[in-house]
Amino acid sequence: MDEQYDVIVLGTGLTECVLSGLMSVSKKKVLHMDRNDYYGGESASLTPLDQVYNHFKMGVAPPEHFGRGRDWNVDLIPKYLEFKSIEGSYVFKGNKIHKIPANEKEGLGTIWIPKKTPVRRCSLNLGLTRTPRILTAMELLCIGVRNTRMHRCWSSLIGESCIMNHWRDSGNLRIFTHCTALENCHRDLQDGKVVGVESEGEVAKCKQVICDPSYAPDKVKKTGQVVRAICILNHPVKDTKDVASVQIIIPQNQVNRKHDIYVSVVSATHQIAAKGFYLAIVSTTVETGNPEQELQIGLDLLGAIEQKFVTVSDMFEQIPGTEESNVFISKSYDATSHFETTCDDVLDLYEKIMGEKFDFSQVNLHQQEEM
């Protein structure tokens, strides 16, 4: 492994895998490694179901009525790798959930748009921001997802909703990157600059390192905590027309909080659960000393819960100025279920690493060439 690379990427979370691919298409020589014996890092998907129970130290085996363990593929956080549209997006207001319009027909009949208001230019206030904002027709169709060029590149994949979910993504990170499982690895620095990564006595030399916070604890600071509850259901969510997948956003001002609460639900249709079951993730930023209780409003929307796994995770981001060492660290995943902040982090890190913004016109050019 005593070779010279432009970039070494440590960790196989979504951010690291996307950046690894971007570095490769930018003609960089990349080595991608992970200390774990599984892919995904903090954003891993666990299968079979026994692994989920072991991960959360349940001390018991999954009940037999949950079906075959390998029919389950449980995300630790919601993520969208192979795209399959979420069938509906909803927002919580007035102690009830309301569907966010996904097309002009739905938009004209929604409670959010005043009657006789032109669709192409209307004032829309979902309670997600403090003041109404003027939305274009495209933004109306894609409410809930930031209308960036990155998202427009995905627009042809959009069905009933602009929120995407993975299609059984276990192992899909291997498609993005060549990964080497390492028991231990650490960065070598010279004059404050990274010069390589050592693992099991072997050294891979490099000019830059991209990693998640766990690989560089001395260069990150804690910014808060996120609480998530992964729930197994045997029924669809009430008031969603029994759709197989749904996202619900509970705005902070509807529940007297400082942060929104996010609910993401997928089902056996997405090949992540046994037939007849659903997987829901309820998440928010921790504000009190009782994190699980902060999720209760979201949990109540789910109805009866067969099994619940709760985690509280610290969130980290890179200490300003430490990028001078040529070590670039991704942010921890926050409570959101739409990955907008992750997209922002990818683009921000790309600009810091490359010294220029990502050129989306090249993406469009490559797409046209492939067509």
What is the rounded distance in angstroms from the CA atom of residue 31 to the CA atom of residue 206? 9
b/e code 284-317 from CB counts within 10 Å (16+ = b): bbbeeeebbebbebbbebbeeeebbbebebebbb
The most distant pair of C-alpha atoms in the chain lies apart, rounded to whole Å, by: 71
What is the rounded distance in angstroms from the CA atom of residue 278 to the CA atom of residue 271? 10
What is the model's pLDDT at position 38?
Answer: 80
Which residues in the chain show pLDDT less than 70?
A: 1-2, 79-87, 101-190, 362-371
What is the model's pLDDT at position 54?
Answer: 94
DSSP states of 350-367: HHHHHSS---HHHHHHHH
Predicted TM-score (pTM) of the model is: 0.74
What is the model's pLDDT at position 90?
Answer: 77
Helix 340-354 / helix 14-25 crossing angle, nearest 10 deg? 40
Quote the tokens at residue 248: 């619900």
Per-residue pLDDT of 328-371, as tens digits, reads: 999 999 999 877 899 999 999 999 999 999 887 766 555 555 55
What is the model's pLDDT at position 20?
Answer: 94
What is the model's pLDDT at position 164?
Answer: 34
Pairing of strands 202-211, 327-329: parallel
Domains detected in the chain: 4-42+169-221+316-370 (3.50.50.60), 45-83+224-315 (3.30.519.10), 102-143 (no CATH)
What is the model's pLDDT at position 89?
Answer: 77
